Amino acid sequence: MRDLLLHLAIRLGASDPDPNSALTAEFRSGGTEEMLNLTPSIQTEIEANMHNKDLNACLSSLLPRLRMRKLCISLDTDTIQLTCSLLRFDHAETAMRLRSVSDAQNLVDLIDELINNKHSSSCSGYGIETSAVYLALEICARVPVLPRSLFLGWPFGSKDYAVLGGNTELLFQTAFMCKILDSNYILRVSKFAKADFYFVIDNVDESKWSLSQWRKMSMPSSVTRIRVMLDIAKAFRYLHSMGIVPLYDTVNSDYISLDSEFHARIRLLGLTAHYVKVTPIPDFSQKWFSYEANIFYFGCLFYEVCFDSKIDYNDRIANKRDAVASRPSEPEILDDEWQLIQRCCASDPKSRPTMDVIVREMEAWDTLNSGFSSAL
CATH of the domain at 249: 1.10.510.10
Domain presence at residue 313: yes
d(CA 351, CA 365): 21
- Whether 113 and 119 have beta carbons less than 8 Å apart is answered as yes
pLDDT at 156: 44
Domain presence at residue 153: no
pLDDT band at 286 (very low <50, low <70, confident <90, very high): low
Q: Are residues 135 and 180 in the same domain?
A: no
Domain presence at residue 58: yes
Residue range 314-356, pLDDT digits in tens: 888 888 999 999 999 888 899 999 999 999 999 999 999 999 9
Q: Are residues 227 and 350 in the same domain?
A: yes
Domain presence at residue 46: no
- Whether 114 and 83 have beta carbons less than 8 Å apart is answered as yes
DSSP 161-218: EE--TT-HHHHHHHHHHHHHS-TTTBPPEEEE-SSS-EEEETTGGG--EEHHHHHHH-
pLDDT at 56: 93
pLDDT at 288: 76
DSSP 229-276: HHHHHHHHHHHHHTTEEE-GGGSSGGGEEE-TT--EEE---EEEHHHH
Residue 323 backbone dihedrals phi, psi, to 5 degrees: -65, -25
Would the pLDDT of 57 be above 80?
yes
Considering only 40-44, 188-192, 298-302, 315-319, which range has the smallest mean pLDDT?
40-44
What three-state secondary structure class fits 341? Answer: helix
Domain presence at residue 47: no
Would the pLDDT of 366 be above 80?
no
| End-of-domain residue from the set 126, 148, 170 | 148
pLDDT at 372: 42
Q: Select the highest-mean-pLDDT range: 70-84, 121-135, 205-219, 255-269.
A: 255-269
- Whether 271 and 289 have beta carbons less than 8 Å apart is answered as yes
pLDDT band at 373 (very low <50, low <70, confident <90, very high): very low
User: Per-residue pLDDT averaged across 147-156, rounded?
Assistant: 70
Threshold 0.85, pTM exceeds: no
- Whether 96 and 142 have beta carbons less than 8 Å apart is answered as yes
Domain presence at residue 25: no
Q: Are residues 167 and 291 in the same domain?
A: no
Q: Select the highest-mean-pLDDT range: 67-76, 232-241, 256-265.
A: 232-241
Domain presence at residue 20: no
Domain presence at residue 32: no
Higher pLDDT, 310 or 120: 310
Higher pLDDT, 313 or 241: 241
Average pLDDT, the chain: 79
User: Per-residue pLDDT averaged across 62-91, rounded?
Assistant: 86
Would the pLDDT of 34 be above 50?
no
Q: Are residues 177 and 280 in the same domain?
A: no
Q: Are residues 229 and 351 in the same domain?
A: yes
Going by DSSP bridges, is the β-strand pair 256-258/209-210 parallel, antiparallel, or unpaired?
antiparallel
User: Per-residue pLDDT averaged across 34-63, rounded?
Assistant: 69
Q: Crossing angle of helices 128-142/101-116, nearest 10°?
A: 150
Would the pLDDT of 211 be above 70?
yes
pLDDT band at 14 (very low <50, low <70, confident <90, very high): low
Q: Are residues 174 and 253 in the same domain?
A: no
Radius of gyration of the chain from its Cα atoms, rounded to whole angstroms: 22
pLDDT band at 254 (very low <50, low <70, confident <90, very high): confident
pLDDT band at 50 (very low <50, low <70, confident <90, very high): confident
Q: Crossing angle of helices 45-53/77-86, nearest 10°?
A: 30
- Please count the structural domains in the chain: 3
Would the pLDDT of 163 be above 60?
no
Would the pLDDT of 363 be above 80?
yes
Q: Which domain holds residue 168?
A: 161-201
Would the pLDDT of 20 be above 70?
no
Residues 6+ apart with CB under 8 A from 161: 198, 199, 201, 267
DSSP 39-79: PPP---HHHHHHHHH-HHHHHHHHHHHHHHPPTTSPPPHHH
Q: Are residues 6 and 143 in the same domain?
A: yes
Residue 321: how many CA atoms within 13 Å on its side-chain side? 10
Q: Are residues 195 and 213 in the same domain?
A: no
Q: Are residues 6 and 81 in the same domain?
A: yes
Residue 133 backbone dihedrals phi, psi, to 5 degrees: -65, -45
Residue 148 backbone dihedrals phi, psi, to 5 degrees: -65, -20
What three-state secondary structure class fits 159? Answer: strand
Q: Are residues 299 and 333 in the same domain?
A: yes
d(CA 82, CA 119): 12
Residue 271 backbone dihedrals phi, psi, to 5 degrees: -135, 160
Side chain identity at 206, as an amino acid letter? E
pLDDT band at 166 (very low <50, low <70, confident <90, very high): low
- Determine if residue 153 is left, alpha or beta; phi over 0 gives left, psi from -120 to 50 gives alpha, anything else beta: left
Q: Are residues 142 and 167 in the same domain?
A: no
User: Per-residue pLDDT averaged across 47-58, rounded?
Assistant: 82
Q: Are residues 229 and 165 in the same domain?
A: no
